[in-house]
Amino acid sequence: GLKWSIWNDWIFLTNRYDHMTMSKQGEQVAPDTLLREKLIGFQREIAELKRINKEQEEAAEQREQELLLGLFEVLDAFDNLEKNIRGKENLLNKIGQRFVKGTRAIQRKLVRLLRSRHIEPLKFPENKARIKQCKIIATQNDPALENEEIIFVEKKGYIDTERKRVLRKAEVVTVCNDVPPMISVYSSEDSHNS
């Protein structure tokens, strides 16, 4: 590979250091000039390898981000299924109840897989929407609550806890008492008020 080639060049140059070489024009070239030219060549090769490595890392990171966003959409589907089933499980027959248990088991496995890669759902201990973690998709007036308090989370957000990087912002509905409510085209308020 490249390391072997560089090592061979270095051995050749050190063996030839005591001898003079001839340039294309027939002039004698000092060994230090030859060494300088080889060093410049090595520096160019190293710079090119660094550029290629950076491009490959960026491409791998882009593929990983796309895969994670796809997995988050799968988790969204599980969350929506859970919202639709909640409170209706007792109406299901045994087959339906087994199906619900099976889907919850799959959801737990997916969450465990993400956790093993240091990816967790975002948490809001103060129940406040923060711009780095949330996308506000709607607001509601509620004088009993403070502005920016989260009323409900339409879509969970996710964070890489190892890199301390938000991978997807949570989509939330918050309190805003200073202006008329902003209605979201994404959420249906009926499903959250029932």
166 touches 157 (CB < 8 A): yes
Q: Write out the H or E segment, with its range, that includes residue 28.
A: strand 28-29
Band the pLDDT of 35: cuts 50, 70, 90: confident
- Cβ neighbour number for residue 151 with a 10 Å cutoff: 17
pLDDT at 21 over 60: no
pLDDT tens sequence across 164-183? 999 999 999 999 988 888 87
pLDDT at 90: 82
Model pTM score: 0.69
Query: Tokens in use for 52?
Result: 């290629």
Coil, strand or helix at 176: coil
Band the pLDDT of 29: cuts 50, 70, 90: low
Answer left, alpha or beta for residue 127, where phi above 0 means left and psi between -120 and 50 means alpha. left
Tell which residue, 143, 136, 178, has the closest CA to residue 157. 136
pLDDT tens sequence across 94-119? 998 899 999 999 999 999 999 999 99
pLDDT tens sequence across 114-149? 999 999 999 998 999 999 999 999 999 999 999 999
Q: What is the mean pLDDT of the chain?
A: 84
